[in-house]
Amino acid sequence: MKLFSFKGGVHPPEMKELAEDSPIRKAEIPKNLTVPLVQHIGVPCKATVEVGQQVREGQVIGETQAFVTAPVHAPVSGKVKKIENVLHPLGIKAPAVLLEVGEGEEKEYMEPLGDDPAKLDSKQMLERVQQAGIVGMGGATFPAHVKFAPPKEKKIDTFIINGCECEPYLTADYRVMIEWGDDVLLGAQMISKILGVERTIVGIEENKPEAIENLRQLTGNVGGEVQVVETKYPQGAEKMLIKALLGREVPSGGLPMDVGVVVSNVGTAVAVCEAVRDGKPLIERVVTVTGNGVGKPGNFLARIGTSVQSLVDQAGGTVGTVGKLIMGGPMMGLAQSSFDTPVIKGTSGILIMQEQGEMHETHLPCIKCSFCVQACPVYLIPSRLSIIAEAQNWKKAEEFGVNDCIECGCCNYVCPSKRPIVQFIKTTKMKLRKLKAMEK
């Protein structure tokens, strides 16, 4: 049987075996949590609490009145110790609320709305998604209520649940589909009702047979369809998944809504289910702790604000000499400088690699081999973009489509000269944003 796929991409070692058979277990809550107020794309939140204040689990501790934003909630009951700038997973200093965990378990959840999407009001559910602070949990962290409310002229006909999890090492979504399949599909039904679509597809890579079988059995009771796609990176990028499943190509500079589609991660669907059915805000998520530098890799349901160190300790601690600490996967994750960095809503994994020889290779000039061109899933010429970017010709890079890059890292992976192509492109995008802001 031919599998759904797309042009380009790469096949890095999957390394899923380290944690894929490890059931989700509740992580221990440390005595102190650091909850950043920047956990989403859009306007950052401002603290709504004061130092010394007692807070309850689920209470709003950060918000703004902007549309493209998402409130932040207290992941536990406790006391506000400090409000200060801390090291953020993005490598910046950002404001955060430091909580000292209390002994009680007082909760301040929202009123449950029910678990029958057919009887629920779409506007009320959309409002609940916003109140719960739900963002894209595949790593993009775009506020979900904005994605679920496209302009009226953008007619959405298909909703896709992304169960690909194509990043090597990561298995959080895989375990969610196996253990919480009912919640995934209930959340998908709720989102489909909000969007007003009739077709719902769950896309899963072929290397996850147990998840495929489980969701196919469950969809027999609630509707929807499960489609199997080729195991290839970056199959889980939403533009690639849309191309693979529907044959539709998102235009340059466009969004999935431009081709009538909305895509959400399985973790996002579970968060929507819990917010609507239980009144629970987004205060915890499943995180894979893995790599050859971890004693006992596993999948943990961790409270937002838990430190990397706490989760690593619960995964058997580090093994050997740590060469690199990454939040996310090896292809698109961000290297971290400290084990004190907190888990945020977009933290899908913590990857620790042992030091093996020289970790940082000096890059060489481009040899024009075209490997990166063949691998690029969005039809760019990464080699040319890297040369232009290295020369700091920002406007020229824009002409060659630098803003269409999805930063998947395929070009870096195949480059024999070890050129940091994605880093060049990220810098270029940042410079272009600054130039446009100055022009305005």
Torsion of CA 191, 195, 197, 202, to 10 degrees: -40
The answer to whether the beta carbons of residues 47 and 96 sit under 8 Å apart is no
- Tell me the backbone φ, ψ of residue 85, rounded to 5 degrees: -75, 130
- CATH class of segment(s) 1-28+111-360: alpha beta
Among residues 238, 150, 225, 224, which one has the least CA distance to residue 194? 150
Among residues 232, 175, 253, which one has the least CA distance to residue 19? 175
- Tell me the backbone φ, ψ of residue 245, rounded to 5 degrees: -85, -35
pLDDT given at position 360: 54
What gap in Å lies between CA 24 and CA 315, rounded to an integer? Answer: 12
pLDDT given at position 381: 96
Q: Could you state, in chain order, the average pLDDT of each consecutive group of 10 residues for the chain (440 residues)?
A: 79 97 97 96 95 97 94 97 94 94 90 96 97 93 96 95 97 98 97 95 96 94 88 95 94 94 97 98 98 97 98 97 95 94 97 76 88 96 94 93 95 95 92 87
Who contacts 119 (Cβ-Cβ below 8 Å, separation ≥6)?
none
- Tell me the backbone φ, ψ of residue 271, rounded to 5 degrees: -60, -40
- Domain residue ranges in the chain: 1-28+111-360, 371-439
pLDDT given at position 357: 57
pLDDT given at position 208: 97
The answer to whether the beta carbons of residues 332 and 408 sit under 8 Å apart is yes
pLDDT given at position 355: 87
pTM reported for the whole predicted model: 0.94
What gap in Å lies between CA 81 and CA 93, rounded to an integer? Answer: 18
Alpha helices in 132-206 (DSSP H): 144-147, 172-179, 181-195
Contacts of 377-381 spanning 24+ positions with Cβ under 8 A: 377/6, 377/7, 377/8, 377/9, 377/234, 377/237, 377/239, 377/240, 377/406, 377/408, 377/410, 378/8, 378/239, 378/404, 378/405, 378/406, 379/7, 379/8, 380/404, 380/405
Torsion of CA 272, 274, 279, 280, to 10 degrees: -100
The answer to whether the beta carbons of residues 407 and 422 sit under 8 Å apart is yes
Instruction: Kindly report the length of the chain.
Output: 440
